[in-house]
A and B are shown apart, each in its own frame.
Chain A
């Protein structure tokens, strides 16, 4: 017979397993977040470094200047429409892959861009959209005058959709694989037409995967600065660009921290709404 562990033994086991990782997360995730919060309440020193006095002035400045509100609005707007486009492209694709005879190969074809370096995927669109790029080569081949596509909002949209499409297809595919198709037959037996049968019997089953996929695309799309930086160059400023600028050439860490807190608050609000409807299992679907 084995004996039950004493409280001291149990504590030791918890400390040995959870301890190091928990310590790391507190030191490198929780503490830095608190530092950002504190710095966001400070002022800009002569060299850009954060200094006292403390106050809400960075937030007041952020929310009272139409320029910054516009940046937030643009980030949400571009993030939302990109995500919607990703869903329109990815949703039918997940069904196609799940029903294909070659699903393993097709999945591989989605996974390869997923793991291809993020910068290379963005860079590829520069090659397409630049002045002497692929798009203009095609346009001039048809005898039309070449256009200016860099920097542009269009390029930002295309690259955002492109970059995050695999993020959506993979979790949705997992949801499609688990679909109980007998419900579709039941709907047909009850006389439903194909469209109605789909929306009543199949669509609800994919909803959890759809929501998880939405967040997996929307959050990074709203927070990105690289895509707008390389393809929107100065023309398209998102909240991520604003943050990078404050920590870079603008040298105002306090204000950059406030902008980061605003972005983080938006993300946490979205997650909180998601967790309320989907529960903790929903959070697990985000990985």
Chain B
């Protein structure tokens, strides 16, 4: 039984990594077509870096991810605090609204935001589809994830700590800043990291809310793939996988230290 389980696990991991490894290998392959390895080359990486647009797409991707993560982390953290600490009307309606971006298929969320921007633009002539609309769209799905991650941390918090602070004369704001926030910080950081990676990963919602001049890396990969495979995309994919692994390892080191 144990052996069967190990064999199964081995095959599943092979399945998970084989396609990625093929891309990595091909990014160093001299042959432009096919999978036969004809020799080592860095030509595709050189071509990738000589394409000035790539830098622009990378910058766009990072601008969207950084700005949307900052806003959604702030809004989501506050939302989680309010949901856990206070009772108010329509609270359960708000909780259900929070699950909508998590469960609704990307394509539906994408077209609904496209329609919203279109309706508003018809009315007041603004905003045209751009990095700005992509950022608005990303915040809209990130908020839910940040809120739910921070809330999971908040409900574990001992409420007597906050009561003690208030008994010692701290105002609500002081209590939040000096007691609550430091205690939920790991949750806030985890929520922000999740929001950031969701933004980097997103293709579908970006696809519907992007305009000309706001191409991100996933949009670029999509259009290149549609035009036919190019070894430069192998190189770009390899670099992105490498960056992903690096960030995950840094994250693991960060958590281990704490």
Q: Are A284's CB and B148's CB within 8 A?
A: yes
Chain A's closest residue to B10 (CB) is A96
Stretch at the interface among A58-66, A116-124, A202-210: A116-124
The reply on A283 being an interface residue by CB < 8 A is yes
Contact A20 B75 (CB under 8 A): yes
Closest Cβ–Cβ distance, residue A179 to chain B (whole Å): 15
Q: Which of B23, B107, B113, B248 contacts A115 (CB 8 A)?
A: B248
A230 nearest CB neighbor, chain B only: B225
Residues of chain B within 8 A (CB-CB) of A76 are none
Cα-based distance from A124 to B100 in the complex (angstroms) = 30
B104 touches A22 (CB 8 A): no
* A1-35 at interface with B (beta carbon < 8 Å): 2, 10, 13-14, 16-22, 24-26, 28-33, 35
CB-CB under 8 A from A115, the residues of chain B are 197, 201, 244, 247-248
Task: Tell whether A223 pairs with B34 under 8 Å between CB atoms, given A112-B248, A126-B229.
Answer: no
- Chain B interface residue count, CB cutoff 8 Å, equals 90
Given contacts A20-B78, A162-B15, A240-B107, contact A29 B97 (CB under 8 A): yes
Q: Is B79 an interface residue (CB 8 A)?
A: yes
- The DSSP consensus for interface residues of chain A is helix
Q: Are A226 and B203 in contact (CB under 8 A)?
A: yes
- With contact pairs A20-B75, A96-B9 given, residues A108 and B252 touching in the complex (Cβ less than 8 Å): yes
Q: Across the interface, name the chain A residue whose C-beta is closest to B204.
A: A226
Stretch at the interface among B46-54, B81-89, B181-189: B81-89
Q: B240 to A117, Cβ gap below 8 A?
A: yes
The chain B residue with its CB closest to the CB of A20 is B75
> Beyond A25-B143, A32-B112, is A220–B105 a contact (Cβ under 8 Å)?
yes
When A108-B252, A133-B35 are in contact, do A18 and B16 touch as well, CB less than 8 Å? no
Q: In the complex, how many angstroms separate the beta carbon of A273 from the nearest chain B beta carbon?
A: 13
**In the complex, which of the residues B12, B152, B197, B222 has the most CB atoms of chain A within 10 Å of its own CB atom?**
B12
**In contact, A287 and B112 (Cβ under 8 angstroms):** no
A176 contacts B by Cβ under 8 Å: no
CB distance from B98 to the nearest CB of A (A): 7
Task: Give the one of A96, A97, A130, A286 with max B CB within 10 A.
Answer: A96
Tell yes or no: A39 within 8 A of B by CB.
yes
Q: Are B221 and A29 in contact (CB under 8 A)?
A: no
A137 to B, closest residue via Cβ: B35
A69 within 8 A of B: no
B158 at the interface (CB under 8 A from A): no
Please determine whether A124 and B20 come into contact, CB atoms closer than 8 angstroms: yes
Any chain B CB within 8 A of the CB of A134?
yes
CB of B86 within 8 A of CB of A243, answer no
CB pair A132 B34 closer than 8 Å: yes
Please state if B75 and A21 are interface contacts (CB–CB under 8 Å): yes
User: What 1/0 flags go to A198-231 for Cβ under 8 Å of B?
Assistant: 0000000000000000010001101111100010
Complex alpha-carbon distance, A162 and B113, angstroms: 29
Q: Contact: A112 with B244, CB < 8 Å?
A: yes
Residues of B within 8 A of A267 (CB): 103-105
Q: A17 contacts B100, CB within 8 Å? A: no
- Asked if B75 contacts A120 (CB within 8 A), the reply is no
Contacts of A90 in B (CB 8 A): 12
* A96-B6, A124-B20 known; A18 vs B88 contact (CB < 8 Å): yes
* 0 or 1 for each of A76-114: is its CB under 8 Å from B? (1 = yes): 000000000000011011011100000000101111110
Which among A21, A111, A124 has the highest number of chain B CB atoms within 10 Å? A21
Decide if A287 touches B108 in the complex (CB within 8 Å). no
Are A264 and B108 in contact (CB-based, < 8 A)? Answer: yes
> A252–B151 Cα gap in the complex (Å)?
41
**Contact partners of B36 in chain A: CB under 8 A:** 137
B35 A134 Cβ-Cβ under 8 A: yes
For A215, give the chain B residue with the smallest CB separation: B103
Cβ-closest chain B residue relative to A125: B19
The reply to whether A26 and B107 contact each other, CB–CB distance below 8 Å, is no
Contact A113/B113 with A108-B252, A230-B225 known, Cβ cut-off 8 Å: no
Q: Is A263 in contact with chain B by the CB < 8 A criterion?
A: yes
A117 to B218, Cβ gap below 8 A?
yes
Pairs across A and B, CB under 8 Å, 28 listed: A17-B81, A17-B86, A21-B78, A21-B147, A25-B94, A32-B109, A117-B201, A118-B201, A120-B237, A123-B23, A124-B20, A124-B23, A125-B19, A126-B225, A126-B229, A127-B19, A127-B26, A128-B22, A133-B35, A219-B103, A220-B105, A223-B108, A240-B107, A247-B114, A260-B107, A260-B112, A286-B99, A287-B148
A residues adjacent to B (C-beta < 8 A): 2, 10, 13-14, 16-22, 24-26, 28-33, 35-36, 39, 89-90, 92-93, 95-97, 106, 108-113, 115-121, 123-128, 130, 132-134, 137, 162, 165-166, 194, 215, 219-220, 222-226, 230, 240, 243-244, 247, 253, 256-257, 260, 263-264, 267, 271, 280, 283-284, 286-287
Q: A25-B144, A117-B200, A137-B36 are in contact. List 13 more A-B contacts (CB 8 A).
A: A18-B82, A25-B98, A36-B112, A96-B6, A111-B248, A115-B201, A117-B241, A120-B20, A120-B23, A128-B22, A226-B203, A243-B111, A286-B99
